[in-house]
Structures are given as structure tokens and as C-alpha cells.
Amino acid sequence: MDVQPRQIVAYYRAGDLESILGSRTLWICASCYACTVRCPAGIKVTDIIYGLKRMAMDNHVEMRGLPVHELSQLFVRIVNRTGRNNEMELAIRFFPRRAPRRLFKMMPLGYRLWRAVRLSFRPQQVKGIEGLRLIIAKAEEMEQLQPRETVESLGEIGYAAVTDRVRIGEEAGTGTSAFSTEERQ
């Protein structure tokens, strides 16, 4: 990760979304929740990363050097067709258009994987593919019924947003912070 979870929170608090959205961290996060579990402040870092990833996708921000959306769509098409990923097909379909040199650099590794019977030239279809396709179709149907989660913009982010909310409380004459108990958690 080029930006560590602690730095993500710091950049967000500082209002520096560009540093986060331009990093590779959003795209290589393994969603293991280790950062969330280990955070002494109880910050749900993984959830923040998911939200930032959604923001990046909505704004068509891609990881430097790798068009994640295109790779993801190709992966999903292969899995929908065969029921499993075929790394050989994924590499052959993706890299010649986007990074032909990288394909040639990967050839020695591909050869070693093929010799170790870890890479197949022929896509193998799972048994019961029709059942899998029905599950995928149902999941897509359910996704269509669910309203898409939206992130409301508060204008400012990070400490600037906190300052604005405190000012709102001061204008109301309460002399206290405008945060409710729910917002603090």
C-alpha cells in the first residue's frame, strides 16, 4: 500500500481527497478488516476505503497504470461465462490493449505456472453452470431493486467540516458543538 490506513484517515481529516483517490491503496485493499480491528480509536477504516472507492468509481478515477474498471468487467464476463476465472484468458484479453509490454514480461511466470499445472490454456467450465447463472441473475435483479447508496456531500470535508458544524452551534447560541451523539459514534 502506498498510503497506509492511518494516512487515509489523516488525509481525509485534512480534506486531501486527491492524495487518497490518486493512490493504489483503494484498489489493492484486501478487505481483511485488520485495520478496522486494530484501530484503537474504533474507526471503521475498511468502510471508509469502500466509500472512497465508490467515490473514485463515480468520478471515473482509475489506479495509476491499471484501469481497474476494465479489468473488473473482463473478469466478471469470464466468470459469468465459465463459472471461474481463467488467468490466461484474462491476461490475453486485457494486456495487449492496455499494456502489451507487461504481457511479455509475464510470459516467463506464465510458463512456470503452466509447467507446474497451475495455469490452463483452455477455460474449464464448472459443473452446474446454469445454477450459477441463475444465482447471478437473481443477485443482479435484487441489486436493481435496491436503491444505490449515495454519498451526500457536505461541502467541506475533514477538519473544515468540523469547524463549520461548530460554527453552526455557536450561531444557534448554544455555545456547544453542533454534533449529535449519533455523529460522534
Enter the C-alpha cell of residue 73. Answer: 468487467
- 67: Cβ contacts below 8 Å, ≥ 6 apart: 98
Cα(73)–Cα(69) distance, rounded to whole angstroms? 6
Enter the C-alpha cell of residue 61. Answer: 478515477
Q: Which residues pair with 63 in a beta bridge?
A: 66
Enter the C-alpha cell of residue 4. Answer: 497506509
Contact 88, 96 (CB under 8 A): no
Pick out the chain residues at pLDDT < 50: 153-154, 156, 159, 161-185
Neighbours of 8 (CB within 10 A): 23
Contact 46, 33 (CB under 8 A): yes
Cα(91)–Cα(119) distance, rounded to whole angstroms? 12
pLDDT confidence of residue 7 = 92
Radius of gyration (C-alpha) of the chain in whole angstroms: 22
- Any idea where the domains of the chain sit in the sequence? 1-64, 68-145, 153-185
pLDDT confidence of residue 139 = 86
Contact 88, 120 (CB under 8 A): yes
Which amino acid is residue 25, in one-letter code?
Answer: T
